[in-house]
Amino acid sequence: MKYVQLVALALLPSILAVDGLADDTFPGDYDLGGWIRADYGNGDRYDPADGEDTLGISQAALLGTWKYNNLEAVLLLGGTNLTADDNDGDGDFKIKDAFIVWSKIGGTQFRLTAGVQPLFFGLKPNGFPGDRSLQPSLEFGGAGGFAVSQQAGPSILLHYDVNELLTITGGFFDTSSSTATHFERTGLGNIDGSSLDSNYLVQFKLEPTSGETGFFLFAGLAGRYIGSNIDSTKPILDLGVGYKGHKFDFSLEAIQLDQAFTDTADDEIYSIAELTLKPSERVSLYFDYGAAEEKNLETLRAGLKYKISSPLTFVAEYSEDELGSNAESISSADVRLEFSF
């Protein structure tokens, strides 16, 4: 079945180019793009059984968008094939994102997005293309931290564009956590599984328009379903501020997670500091630091991005995780070639 999908994906541009099909079947404008990420990593963060390294495609994706008046459909098909993650060597291939965008509802500034879509909660949430770092930082699951911003998930979100700078977003999402899963783990069959009304987010995001400088701000509250033997929704609070210049940007962020997320005696606090330097149009340097107060975890990321040509970018990164006061640190050096089209 996987090979049938691959053939269909390869033929998609030709199918859409047939005379008359775009006008009759896909009214409006449509566009195809995507990217391929070739990665190599070496270090003790990779299992000795894998040779303490990994090689392959961290993400290959084809992105299709179709626009008709104030409606848009987005479909992202992608796969991964890394030696450190794939025992049988055949990778994976599936729908990553698929959602509908309904803009300017009733002539207003409201915008509805529904389907399986990115949930970009946070000041600088990772999201492809253009992930900030090759290895996830603390707030995205690095060093065993809790991933505050989900990459994508089934959700319904309503956005209000107050002006060109400020957007307010609210909505609900769901996870696959189920009663059956809880029963297998705990023997407690009376715990309700995740539902739409047990996962929500509200956020305010202010950022300069493209190419402009200025402050950017984020304030958000998310409630997320807790599995295991806890039948409840627990909060995540996120506050961040930064400044974007022509040659740099710098930001500070604080995230408070209910202790149920991290299984700690008190609520966990993540402190995040991120700096980007842009000495030229082709070169950028980034330095990210994250610390978890209760679990005593730290992540450090230092990387270089070099734009070789319009579609091709080279990225090199050194990363180190401190896994508590009594644990050894783990580190790696990773490189990537990313071709975007």
The answer to whether residues 294 and 271 touch, using CB atoms and an 8 Å cutoff, is no
Parallel/antiparallel/unpaired status of strands 232-244 and 110-117 = unpaired
51 SS3 class: coil
For the segment 254-304, what is each residue's pLDDT rounded down to a tens digit? 999 999 889 899 999 999 999 999 999 999 999 999 999 999 999 999 999
The answer to whether residues 299 and 318 touch, using CB atoms and an 8 Å cutoff, is no
The residue ranges of the chain whose pLDDT is under 70 are 1-26, 86-91, 127-130, 151, 177-191, 228-231
pLDDT score recorded for residue 222: 95
Concatenate the DSSP letters of all residues of 312-326 into one string. EEEEEEEEEEEE-TT
Concatenate the DSSP letters of all residues of 231-266 into one string. -EEEEEEEEEEEEE-SSEEEEEEEEEE-HHHHT-SS
134 SS3 class: coil
Phi (first) and psi of residue 208, to 5 degrees: -60, 155
99 SS3 class: strand
pLDDT score recorded for residue 189: 53
Cα 167 to Cα 24: distance, rounded to the nearest angstrom = 35
The domains of the chain, with CATH numbers, are 103-340 (2.40.160.10)
Cα 195–chain centre separation = 22
The owner of tokens 């089209």 is 341
pLDDT score recorded for residue 130: 67
Which pair of tokens denotes residue 40?
Answer: 């190599």
What pTM does this model have?
Answer: 0.85
The answer to whether residues 144 and 154 touch, using CB atoms and an 8 Å cutoff, is no
Phi (first) and psi of residue 199, to 5 degrees: -135, 115
**Dihedral angle computed from the Cα positions of residues 93, 94, 100 and 101, in that order, rounded to the nearest 10 degrees:** -40
pLDDT score recorded for residue 11: 45
